[in-house]
Amino acid sequence: MTTRFPQDPMFAGFSAPVRVEADIYDLEVAQGEVPGQLDGTYYRVVCDRQWPPMVAGDIPFNADGMVMSFRFERGHVDFKSRYVRTPRFEAERKARRSLFGAYRNPFTDDPSVAGMNRTLANTNVFWHGGKLLASKEDSPPIQIDPDTLDTVGVHTFDGALTSQTSTAHPKFDPRTGEMVFFGFAAKGECTPDIAFYEADRDGNLVHETWFQAPYSSMVHDFAVTQNFVVFPIIPLVSDLGRIRAGLSHYAWDPGRDVHLGVLPRKGRVEDLRWYRGGTRFASHILGAYDDGRHIHIDTPVSESNYFPFFPDLSGAPADPGKTKGYLSRWTIDTMGERGSFTQERLTTHAGEFPRMDDRFETLPYSWGVMGMYEVPGEPRPGRGFRWVGAVDLEHRRTTTHYVGDCSSVGEPLFVPAHEKAGHAEGYVLAVVGRHDEMRSDLLILDAGRIDAPPVATVKLPIRVPYGLHGNWVTRGELQRG
């Protein structure tokens, strides 16, 4: 069968599959100097299709995961990229074609792969317990060799993981080294079951609690503080009957409320309490903390569904004005009687992919960075995320860096300047697509002066596919691993 991708905007131009695994030693530094104090590796995962899709109208998330590494050493940067060899990837490579159908819909697969793990491991890559793990929320994570990027295999915590799934957004407690995570649709596609776990600093599971959400939905991220975990249930719903009929896995239900499930960190199902609010969309959590009574959660919030490829059950067309996300703060009074939560907008800039100084995860913090696609007073041309924005939460101020015409930026990542650096003292790394040149750059920005010219621009001679998330691992962590 001839390999030919559809004549579709999703497979054309800068969005076209790259399908290249690369090793580039000592990338060109086109501007500035790479700070010598950056000593470690920036791991990132992107979506890059190996084969043309089986079904028409496929979505960007249904593409093979490719892990990339930018290794920093003494002012130099080396690049490497490898596909994650999931069971799905290996089966399709052997067949030389797609065998898996629509996004998270096993009923559309080729019969030869019935019952096989469908994960693409294309959403996040993170480090814990001396292991590098690539993850998508429909499966346990996949272990990756941190040096070669070769695939080790499915990671189930030595068989202790009882959920069929595991989030791509675990949280890490800087005081204990614990990884806090969960799996939704934990008993199979479209089930309302959620499994909550904590793993110690060595990667051993030490806590497990199961419960059911009010309805089955995409629980992409969650909030963790020193005392609580919070599960946002938003009305991007799933239904087994829908996917059996070949329809979209997720659909927006404007008639449903948002529910926030609050559980003590080491709590049991009987400790779970739900807080309810009107319809809205949220996906990624910037940060969260508590004072013992009040829980504060910062997340971009929009009035309606952010994803244009997931339909509205009411039949209403997408309203661009209602899909813009603005960083907002949800506050829950855990001792109140109302059973609801409040919302406060923190910025007038629209954006997503928020990141914090991870050393303050679960703790009070005052700074974050995110990709932005609308900045008041700056009608710049282009589509997608065109600014890196730093948000001063204490003074409610946002500072931006425009990445350039014909360019778009992925998730920005904060890296501390050194081991004893203060809060938000360091650099922001951001991969930028240069659409007119069909290649990419890695920008290094001063976190304290985001609006200044880059500290350095590292030039890639190739195009890096659109990516989702990534993380920084120090050389010391890698050596201890």
Going by the annotation, the residues of the binding site for Fe cation are 169, 220, 284, 469
d(CA 14, CA 437): 10
Identity (one letter) of the amino acid at 373?
A: Y
How buried is residue 227: exposed, middle or buried, by Cβ count under 10 Å (0-12/13-18/19+)? middle
Q: Is the dihedral of CA 297, 302, 308, 310 positive or negative?
A: positive
Closest listed residue to residue 480, CA positions, set 171, 170, 146, 152: 146
CA angle 81, 450, 350 (to 5 degrees): 85
Residue 120: closest CA among 147, 156, 83, 82: 83
- Residue 135's nearest CA partner among 114, 173, 161 is 161
Name 117's Cβ contacts closer than 8 Å, sequence gap at least 6: 86, 87, 88, 139, 154
Q: Known binding site: residues?
A: 169, 220, 284, 469
The tally of CA atoms less than 13 A away on the side-chain side of residue 112 is 10
Burial, 201: exposed, middle or buried (Cβ in 10 Å; 0-12, 13-18, 19+)?
Answer: middle
Q: HSE, CB side, 13 Å, CA atoms: give it for residue 56.
A: 1
Are the beta carbons of 142 and 121 closer than 8 angstroms?
A: yes
